[in-house]
Amino acid sequence: MSEDLWKYTLRPEDEGKKYEEILKRRLHFSRHLVQGLKQGERAWVNGRFTFLSARGHAGETLALALQPEETTNIEAEPLPLRIIYEDDYLLAVNKSCGQVVHPTPRYPHNTLGNAVAWHWQSQGQEHIFRPIHRIDRNTSGLVLIAKNRFAHQQLAWQLEHSWVQKRYLGFVSGQIAEDNGQIDGPLRLVPGSFILRQVHPQGQKALTFFRVLRRYPAATLLEFDLKTGRTHQIRVHCQAMGHPLLGDDLYGGDTALIGRQALHSFSYSFSHPADSRILTLRAPWPADLLDLTRALAL
């Protein structure tokens, strides 16, 4: 039995229940993940191999091998990578503006995925690149990546049930009078476009909370708390309330002081999939946003 295992001690309320039922209902394992754990010897109770169909007892320790061997799915490239946090389950990086998260036919190289693949390869590791969320090419900041299927599934469940707190910082045009507020505007693609989004009653639900951090003569620094994660959500919501992000030429932002949307993925707070502790990660501001703050203060 490997020492590198995920472990769970059964509680009194788990008494007599099948291990697979405990994993699905209490610990939110997906059906697909549980099926994978049935392949080969990947589950033990108190050090002895077990079938997940067996029934458990309070006080037992269920141990699972959650990291089967994988082959990377992305070409490794020696690119700069600013690591904020890494353990056996997760990798968090501070993405630069201008970098695509995942390789695409249009952007097959120089992506964050290529950089991460090189980082893991240099450490003798192989993982499939599984970002928990993506940010736009010209949005900077925190990107969280799962290093195995279990971590990815657990974080996806937390996202779906609004257990993850994602916060962004952004500079919008004009001064916003209220100190905080919310934008509840469903989003959909603009008819005939593959890129532009718009607020529309027939769109997908999108909810953004904002808080004013600082007011400048011609702009406002906001902190955004996302309750949904739609494509271009903050950008479209800012346009909809009449205060587009500075630099966001796609949605009407002024490009005089910065040449990209002034938006930064700042923090990510969640329950760690291995031990349930609350982990809060933050990404420092990039140089162009620091320059922008100085220019706005003049």
Which DSSP string corresponds to 30-68? -HHHHHHHTSSS-EEETTEE--TTSBP-TT-EEEE----
Least confident of 92-101, 102-111, 165-174: 102-111
CATH fold, domain 6-64, is: 3.10.290
Reported as type and span, the H/E element at residue 188 is strand 187-189
CB-based contact 74:129 (threshold 8 Å): yes
Distance (Å, rounded) from C-alpha 224 to C-alpha 31? 34
The catalytically annotated residue of 14, 88, 136, 254 is: 136
pTM for the model: 0.83
Confidence of residue 3 (pLDDT cuts 50, 70, 90): very low
Interval 99-112: pLDDT, tens: 999 998 889 999 99
Q: What per-residue confidence (pLDDT) applies to 201? A: 94
Q: Quick one: tokens of 137?
A: 């090419």
CB-based contact 234:245 (threshold 8 Å): yes
Range list for CATH 3.30.2350.10 in the chain: 165-265+291-297
Alpha carbon 161 to chain centroid distance?
14
CB-based contact 123:88 (threshold 8 Å): no
Range list for CATH 3.10.290.10 in the chain: 6-64
CATH fold, domain 165-265+291-297, is: Pseudouridine synthase (3.30.2350)
Alpha carbon 281 to chain centroid distance?
11
For the purposes of burial, counting CB atoms within 10 Å of the CB of 77, is it exposed (0-12), middle (13-18) or buried (19 or more)? middle
Distance (Å, rounded) from C-alpha 298 to C-alpha 293? 9
Has 254 been annotated as catalytic?
Answer: no
CB-based contact 205:228 (threshold 8 Å): yes
